[in-house]
Structure formats: structure tokens, C-alpha cells
Amino acid sequence: MQINKYIYSFSYENPESELCKLESRYIFNKEEKNRLLFSDIKAEPSNSPFIKSRLDVISFSEDYDTLIKDIKKESICIEGFKVEYLVLDGDITEYKERLNKLKDIGWSIEGIPDYYNPTITYGLCYFEGIWCFGVLNKDSFTWHKHKKKPRSYSNSISISIAKALVNIAAKANKESKLLDVCCGVGTIMLEACFSGNNIEGCDINEKICNNAQENISHFNYTANVYHSDIKNISKKYDAAIIDLPYNLFSNATDNDILHIIESTAAITDRIVIVSISDITNLISNTGFRISDYCTVSKSGKRKFTRKIWVCEKVK
């Protein structure tokens, strides 16, 4: 078995499984499986709503004793370290044995450990007959601060969906120029700014634009928000995100939605569209083809399913 540089673990509820796999395809070019993914692509866990941790593999071996010898050869010397055992799918190692193995790792590192405020965290895991050791990077969840933005909107998408949409649109490329069409109060823009993506937004409602700008400034981010109909935006973008809440909360017609998509199609070759109704036929009338698709459900007072289409311009 070949071990790539990084081992990712994922966490999500079942209604989000399709969205997690869709996001994985655009970050890693493959899907997570059983909440695990091995890759040579380095991604920051906090930039995804689903990545729980990333293990940067230092040593691995089918034989545990050999792994310990290899770790000792690394001559790791650091104060304030911590070692955690990652229980991955299929690992039946008993708790007591896991603790003993963590002690083995600890004795193989020179320095005094700190279990409460570590300077660095190492991880040990066992998967399909291979022992792996490396540096463990976890989701910091600092992006949850966006839940306390000063301006909110009752029908805004969740920040988890917003983060995934940014990764799907940008394909994990921080250099991509993104546009959040109908940006609302900036839920998607906040997650893009947090991750270091290049994004701008527009909305036809001036008050909503001001609210979006207030939210962005509140967290000390910088991004342009244009008070404009999308048809009046002339700049070109690598990709655009369109969240269409209209069919649930207003009387927008198919022509209104078609206008938004067609106007966006004039300034980009790639669009990620979110809607609660099936607009497949409308998309096909804009010169775009659907290259990928998923659904994500939400339960509450009103149970509904959002549909997400990844669309590419027909060449």
C-alpha cells in the first residue's frame, strides 16, 4: 500500500455527505471514502467545513516496531509536544494498547510533553495494515465566529455550505477570481475571505449590499461589494457562485432567474448555482452544461433540499 503525504479525516452529517464528496472532488480530485482520504495535496482543514484533521506523514511501516525505530532516527527534539491516537475506519486496537503506543511515541521524542497547551501535536494511526506517524493539524473552528456577524438574513445558507461552495468554485486555487452573485449579507464572501480567496460580490438591493460590507469590515476582511444588477457587471471572473433563494421567499419568475444566469454567463466560464427547485432546463438554455451536481438537505420547521449544480460554458 502506498501512503501519500497527507491523511485527512472528515466529519459530517448524512444529509451533507453528497456535498462533502462534491467538495472533495474539487479540492483533491477524488472523493473521501468512509470519512478518510489519502492525498499528496496539502489543504488547510479550517478552510473546509468537513475536514476534521490532516496528518502530515513523517514515517510509516507495516511493522510497528520498525515504525518506532524510524521515529527515533528522525531525532525529533521539541519541548511542549503532544501525541494523539487517531482511530480510523477498521482500526480495532484496544484503548489500553493505544495508550501504550502513545507512550512509545513519547519516549521516542526528546523533550517534555505538554498535554494542555502543546506547541505541536503529533498523530499515530493504523489503517489497512499500515502504521503512520506525523504532525497532526486540526480544524481550529475559528470560522465559527462568523455565526455572530452583525447583520444576518433569515434565508441565508449555512456557513458550512458557503465554505464548500467557495472550494468548489475556486477548485482550491487561491488565485481564482470569484464573484458572489446576489451576495446578500455576504455569507459566502466571509468564508472566502477567511480562506484567503479572491472574491467580490454584487446585489441589486442597496441595503443588503451595505449589510454585506458591514459584515466584511466587522471581521477586518477586505472585499468589494457592488450595488448593481449583475447585467451591469463587466469585469471577468474565473468562476461565479449564484445562490438563488428566490423561489422560496419571493415571486421571482423563471425569466428573472434566467436573466441572472445569462448575465453571469457573460462574465465567466464557470458557475456554481444553488437553488431549492429544479432549474436544469433554465441552465441548459444559457449555453452552459452541468458538469457536476449534488443535493444537501436541511431539517427544521421547513424541510427542504438545496440543489447544487457545477456548470461549465459549452466550448
Give the model's pLDDT for residue 287. 87
The helix, strand and coil proportions of the chain, stated in percent and rounded to the nearest 5, come to 35, 30, 35
Amino acid at 145: K
Mean pLDDT of the chain: 93
Mean pLDDT to the nearest integer, 214-243: 97
Mean pLDDT to the nearest integer, 95-101: 97
Domain ranges in the chain are 6-138, 142-313
Between CA 283 and CA 285, with CA 284 as vertex, the angle to 5 degrees is 90
Q: How confident is the model at residue 223 (pLDDT cuts 50, 70, 90)?
A: very high
Q: How confident is the model at residue 251 (pLDDT cuts 50, 70, 90)?
A: low
Say what the alpha-carbon torsion angle 88, 93, 94, 100 is, to the nearest 10 degrees: -100
How far apart CA 81 and CA 78 sit, in angstroms, is 7
Mean pLDDT to the nearest integer, 195-215: 96
pLDDT tens digits for range 146-169: 999 999 987 789 999 999 999 999
Residue 191 exposed, middle or buried by CB count within 10 Å (0-12, 13-18, 19+): buried
Give the model's pLDDT for residue 247. 43
pLDDT tens digits for range 44-77: 999 999 999 999 999 999 999 999 999 999 999 9
How many Å from the N-terminal Cα to the C-terminal Cα in the chain? 40
Give the model's pLDDT for residue 299. 60
62: closest CA among 134, 133, 132? 132
Mean pLDDT to the nearest integer, 101-107: 97
Pairing of strands 239-244, 270-275: parallel
Say what the alpha-carbon torsion angle 280, 284, 289, 293 is, to the nearest 10 degrees: 0
Mean pLDDT to the nearest integer, 266-280: 94
Please count the other Cβ atoms lying within 10 Å of the Cβ belonging to residue 268.
21
Percent of the chain whose predicted confidence (pLDDT) is above 90: 85
Q: What are phi and psi of 79, to 5 degrees?
A: -90, 145
How far apart CA 109 and CA 299 sit, in angstroms, is 47
How far apart CA 52 and CA 166 sit, in angstroms, is 18
Least confident of 62-71, 136-145, 251-260: 251-260
Dump strand ranges (E) for the chain. Answer: 6-10, 36-39, 51-61, 81-86, 120-127, 130-138, 177-181, 198-203, 225-227, 239-244, 270-275, 288-298, 304-313
Q: Which residue has the higher pLDDT, 32 or 251?
A: 32
CATH code for the structural domain at 6-138: 3.30.2130.30
144: closest CA among 130, 164, 158, 124? 158
CATH 3.40.50.150 for the 142-313 domain, yes or no: yes
- In this prediction the pTM is 0.93
Q: How confident is the model at residue 265 (pLDDT cuts 50, 70, 90)?
A: very high
